[in-house]
Amino acid sequence: MENNQPIIVKRVKKVAGGHHGGAWKIAFADFATAMMAFFLVMWLMTVATPEQKKLISGYFQDPVGFSESASPYVIDLGGTPTPAPDRTLNPEPQDEKSPAEDAQADVDKLQAESIAEEVERERLELLLQELQNKVEENPQLQNFKDQILFEITQDGLRIQIMDAENRPMFASGSARLQPYFEDILLAMTDTIAAVPNKISVSGHTDAAPFVGRGGYGNWELSSDRANAARRVLIAGGYDDEQVARVVGYASSALFDREKPLNPVNRRIDIVVLTKKAQRAIEGGQSDAAEPPADAGSPPAAPAIAPPATRAEPLPGGQLRERLNIFEEGVLQFDQPAE
Q: Which domains does the chain have, with CATH numbers?
A: 49-91 (no CATH), 122-289 (3.30.1330.60)
Q: Are strands 243-248 and 148-153 parallel, antiparallel or unpaired?
A: unpaired
* Amino acid at site 304: I
Has residue 293 got a pLDDT over 80?
no
Written as one letter, the residue type at 278 is Q
How much is the pLDDT for 310?
Answer: 47
| 122 vs 124: CA distance, rounded Å | 5
Ramachandran area for residue 18 (φ above 0: left; ψ -120 to 50: alpha; else beta): beta
Q: What is the pLDDT confidence band of residue 330, given thresholds at 50, 70 and 90?
A: very low
pTM above threshold 0.75 = no
Reply yes or no on whether the pLDDT at 2 is more than 70.
no
Task: List the single range of 35-44, 63-72, 167-176 with lowest mean pLDDT.
Answer: 63-72
How would residue 298 be classed by pLDDT, with cut points 50, 70 and 90?
very low
What angle, 0 to 180 degrees and rounded to 10, lies between the N-to-C axes of helices 179-193 and 316-323? 100
CA distance 177 to 266: 13
* 123-142 mean pLDDT: 88
Q: In what order do the strands lie in the sheet with 243-248?
A: 148-153, 156-162, 267-273, 199-204, 243-248
In this prediction, residue 19 has a pLDDT band, given cuts at 50, 70 and 90, of low
Residue 234 confidence class, pLDDT cut points 50, 70, 90 = very high
C-alpha 316: how far from chain center: 40
For residues 291-319, give the mean pLDDT.
45
CB-based contacts of 73-80 (< 8 A; 24+ apart in sequence): 75/44, 75/48, 76/52
Neighbours of 272 (CB within 10 A): 25
Task: State the Rg of the chain over Cα.
Answer: 44
